[in-house]
Amino acid sequence: MSVPAPERPRSTLRAGVVPYPDDAVRRYREAGLWGDRTLVQEFQRVAAAHPQVVALVTDAGTLTYAELDARTDLIACGLGELGLRPGDPVVFQVTNRQETVLAWYATLKAGLLPVCALAHHRGHEISQISRLVGAVGHLVEAGTRGFDLVAFGREQAQDHPTLRHLLTVGAAADAGTVRLEDLGRDADPTVARARVDAVQAGIGPDDVAVLQLSGGTTGVPKVIPRLHAEYWYNALAYASAWGWNASSRVAHLIPVVHNAGIVCGLHGPHSVGGTLVLASPDLDRALPLMAAAGVTDVLFGHGHYGVIDHPGLAAVVPTLRTVVLSGAKVSAELFDRFEALGLWTGQLFGMGEGMFAVTFPGAPRRARNETVGTPLSPLDEVRVLRPDSEDEVPPGEVGELCARGPYTIRGYLAAPEHDARAFTGDGFYRTGDLARLVDIDGGRYLAVEGRIKDVINRGGEKVNAEEVEQLLVRHPAVAAAAVVAVPDERLGERACAVLVADGDPVDLAELRRHLEALGVAKYKWPERLEWRTELPRTQVGKLDKKRLRAEVAGGPPPG
Ligand code: AMP
């Protein structure tokens, strides 16, 4: 049967993307790292090789590769019938559930671009992001606790220049919206597959596939364009690093639509025919699901380090082989306690922009505890530079970690001015993280020592300090604002606002109401407040955040 291929949407799938230089592309292909397929074509190949293997386990049950592949063909067909066209961005606001994975592959199969927002983003974030990318679709989850995302989606679509389709998951059939679950219900599977194939034939391996969001260093969100071949390679390299195969059952508890979720949780196991056990972030729900699924591998973000004291962990231990910790320094005590359970414990360092480091199997125990290991790819290039310079620091000294390689972006989406600061002249991404090289037992490893970018890492969600400061000074009682991290045992860090009053100071509850009224996601709201008569300045008159951080943490001011 013949299905006409939709016109190749070159302009949308390359617009605003800084391409990898031709010689780098050649090197990555010659080395066999980049393939020639789209994400969907890669997934289809794996699904065809492992049709009866369970691809996905959630609270809602299991799906084999054959089932997941067939169902997402139908939904993709339904998305096309709605009028969505290849290259149309669709903003995702959904949590870890079966329909999210269906939506992910169906969106890709229809040639649409998933935009990886979070379910807890609100009007302040979504209105900016959806305009920035020219979103055509908005996928929201019904029934999220305390907030009606479906009503929110309707509001967002009003007076929006491009948004035309509100899609839901988990909504009742009569909610008057398009339920993703119902799309393509009546489509013929053969016709649906032919349409998917025709769409994919019009997409190249170096076209943009997914739009991730940066935790960013400026007040305006930055969009990270990830391309088909490099994004799949990132996931396959990650799966290969741990030796995963079709018998691996990998649990993921942090938001799956995050970069770590897609690379390590979804595409990682799916690149080798393994199983994703997609769990809630709530350990009381996640651990029984993991135990029942016989999980072999798990990634715990910093917000879950407390799992070591959870009574539900014992039931997972018999099948669990590998624990990967990520997001913050790992104490020797925590590391030892995991290993004492017979669990091989390691670390991951990574970011939406690309660059991963992992403690590969074979890394000595000390390297697995005290460092984040070595770069994921043999073609990753890493430099530790003196901040604001292109000069490398001597080995062992702390500097800014900069990276270039076969899955690290060369620029943000349509942001040349920002790129000029965020990349070196020769295309290394300046991560904003401080690192040093450490020699252990004859190997050289990367240790993360802090950061220079002005963000707060709240349990893995990045809060941009400058963005919150700009929002706080819009309150009439606030003359000046500085937002800094305070250490927190459970989440790693929380935000503290240090403010100078214009008139009478107000309390934290009032400031949080102010941010809520501005539609700011709750995870960005400061959780501590201090009023000052003035904010400390450096000798050149810049806000002295280093000093403030030390002061609010209760430590002595830095010398
Ligand atoms: P994201 O792009 O949201 O995944 O955030 C990436 C950032 O998270 C990095 O640039 C680091 O600042 C931080 N990060 C990720 N992994 C680690 C880790 N293992 N240790 C410390 N910080 C980390």
Cβ-proximal residues to 163 (8 Å cutoff; 6+ apart), any chain: 130, 135, 136, 137, 138, 156, 157
Q: What is the CA radius of gyration of the chain?
A: 23
Residue 72, token pair as written in the block: 């997402």
Q: Are residues 418 and 461 in the same domain?
A: no
Cβ of 217 closer than 6 Å to ligand 1, yes or no, is no
C-alpha angle 35/235/339, rounded to 5°? 145
* 376 and 410, same domain (yes or no): yes
Bin 354: left if φ > 0, else alpha if -120 < ψ < 50, else beta. left
User: Which atom in ligand 1 lies closest to the alpha carbon of residue 326?
Assistant: 19
User: For 256, which DSSP code?
Assistant: T
Q: How far is the CA of 461 from the centre of ligand 1 (A)?
A: 9
Q: Give the residue numbers spanning the domain of 415.
A: 354-453
Q: Which residue has the tokens 């949407």?
A: 9
Contact 197, 172 (CB under 8 A): no
* 452 Cα to the center of ligand 1, angstroms: 12
Residue in 263, 462, 524 to alter for ligand 1 test, most ligand atoms within 8 A of Cβ: 462
Burial class (CB in 10 A: 0-12, 13-18, 19+), 414: middle
**Do 445 and 530 fall within a single domain?**
no
Indicate if 404 and 464 belong to the same structural domain: no
Q: Which residues of 343-366 are buried (b: 16+ CB within 10 A; e: fewer)?
A: bbbbbbbbbbbbbbbbbbeebebe
> Which residues touch 250 (CB under 8 Å, ≥6 apart)?
244, 264, 265, 268, 269, 274, 275, 276, 277, 295, 296, 297, 298, 299
Ligand 1 in reach of 375 Cβ (< 6 A): no
Ligand 1 touching residue 346 (CB < 6 A): no
Whether residue 367 is contained in a domain is answered as yes
Task: Please tell me the predicted confidence (pLDDT) of residue 21.
Answer: 97
Ligand 1 site, residue 254, Cβ cutoff 6 A: no
CATH of the domain at 111: 3.40.50.980
Q: Pick the atom of ligand 1 nearest to 432's CA.
A: 10
Cβ–ligand 1 contact at 408 (below 6 Å): no
33 closest CA partner among 378, 353, 375: 378
The answer to whether 369 and 251 have CB atoms below 8 angstroms apart is no
Residues 439 and 532 both lie in one domain: no
Number of domains present in the structure of the chain: 3
Q: How many whole angstroms separate alpha carbon 203 and alpha carbon 299?
A: 32
Length of the chain: 559
Q: Which residues of 115-136 are buried (b: 16+ CB within 10 A; e: fewer)?
A: bbbbbbbbebbbbebbebbbbb
- Ligand 1 centre to CA of 358 (Å) is 12
Atom of ligand 1 nearest to the CA of 329: 20
Best of 224, 348, 349, 431 for a ligand 1 pocket test (most atoms within 8 Å of beta carbon): 349
Q: For residue 341, is it within any domain?
A: no
Rounded to the nearest angstrom, the gap between the alpha carbon of residue 372 and the centroid of all alpha carbons in its chain is 18
Q: Does residue 451 have its Cβ closer than 6 Å to ligand 1?
A: yes
For residues 439 and 464, membership in a common domain is answered with: no
From the CA of 460, how far away is ligand 1's center (Å)?
Answer: 7
Kindly state if the Cβ of 215 falls inside 6 Å of ligand 1: yes
Same domain, 410 and 495: no
Per-residue pLDDT at 221:
83
CB atoms inside a 10 Å sphere around CB 546: 13
Whether 293 maps to a domain, the answer reads no
Cα distances from 104 to residues 93, 111, 271, in angstroms, run 11, 11, 15
CA–CA separation, 74 and 192 (whole Å): 6
C-alpha of residue 491 to centroid of ligand 1, in Å: 14
* Statement to judge: residues 426 and 463 lie in one domain: no
Assess whether the C-beta atom of 256 lies below 6 angstroms from ligand 1: no
Report the nearest atom of ligand 1 relative to the CA of 353: 2
- Residue 5 has a pLDDT of 44
Q: Quick one: angle between helices 22-30 and 228-241, nearest 10?
A: 40
Last residue of a domain, one of 186, 212, 245: 245
Distance 351 CA to ligand 1 centre (A): 6
Examine the domain organization and report whether 372 and 504 are in the same domain: no
pLDDT at 8: 42
**Burial environment of residue 473 by CB neighbours within 10 A (0 to 12, 13 to 18, 19 or more):** middle
Whether residue 248 contacts residue 223, with contact meaning beta carbons closer than 8 Å, is answered with no
Are 525 and 513 contacting, i.e. CB atoms less than 8 angstroms apart?
no
Q: Which of 453, 484, 499 is the last residue of a domain?
A: 453
Hey, what are 553's tokens? 């943490």
- CA–CA distance, 209 with 129 (Å, rounded to integer): 17
Ligand 1 contact, 259 CB (< 6 A):
yes
Last residue of a domain, one of 245, 265, 292: 245
Coil, helix or strand at residue 266: helix
Q: Are residues 441 and 483 in the same domain?
A: no
For residue 352, give the ligand 1 atom closest to its CA.
Answer: 2
Three-point CA angle 257, 523, 527, nearest 5° = 160
CB 548 within 8 A of CB 538: no
β-pairing, 443-451 vs 429-440, is antiparallel
State the distance from the centre of ligand 1 to the C-alpha of 311, rounded, in angstroms. 28
Question: Is 75 contained in some domain?
Answer: yes
Do 413 and 493 lie in a common domain? no
Distance 441 CA to ligand 1 centre (A): 26
| Spatial separation of the C-alpha atoms in residues 70 and 48, rounded to whole Å | 11
Instruction: Supply the residue whose CA is at minimum distance from atom 5 of ligand 1.
Output: 351
260 lines ligand 1 (CB under 6 A): yes
Is position 218 within any domain?
yes
In a domain, 271, yes or no: no
* β-strand partners of 345: 323
Inside any domain, residue 418? yes
Gap from CA of 160 to ligand 1 centroid (Å): 33
Judge if the beta carbon of residue 328 lies within 6 A of ligand 1: yes
User: Is 200 a member of any domain?
Assistant: yes
Contact 429, 408 (CB under 8 A): yes
Q: Whose CA is nearest to atom 4 of ligand 1?
A: 351
Same domain, 361 and 502: no
Does ligand 1 have an atom closer than 6 angstroms to the CB of 347? yes
How many A from CA of 434 to the centre of ligand 1?
11
Low-confidence stretches of the chain (pLDDT < 50) are 1-2, 4-11, 556-559
The total of other beta-carbon atoms located within 10 Å of residue 332's CB is: 10
Under 8 Å between Cβ of 458 and 494: yes
> Is the Cα dihedral 122, 100, 301, 404 positive or negative?
negative
Contact in structure between 351 and 259 (CB atoms under 8 Å): yes
Strand order in the sheet with 61-64: 61-64, 54-58, 275-278, 249-252, 297-301, 322-326, 344-351, 354-358, 374-375
Query: What does the block give as tokens for 24?
Result: 């780098």
Closest C-alpha to ligand 1, atom 18? 327
Q: What is the CATH number of the domain that holds 403?
A: 2.30.38.10
Nearest-CA neighbor of 406 among 31, 114, 17, 43?
31
Ligand 1 centroid vs 350 CA: distance in angstroms? 5
DSSP E strands in 119-164: the ranges are: 137-141
Q: Indicate if ligand 1 lies below 6 Å from the C-beta of 433.
A: yes
* Ligand 1, pocket-test mutation among 263, 374, 382, 448, most atoms within 8 A of CB: 448
Atom of ligand 1 nearest to the CA of 461: 3
Structural contact between residues 300 and 322, judged by C-beta atoms closer than 8 angstroms = no
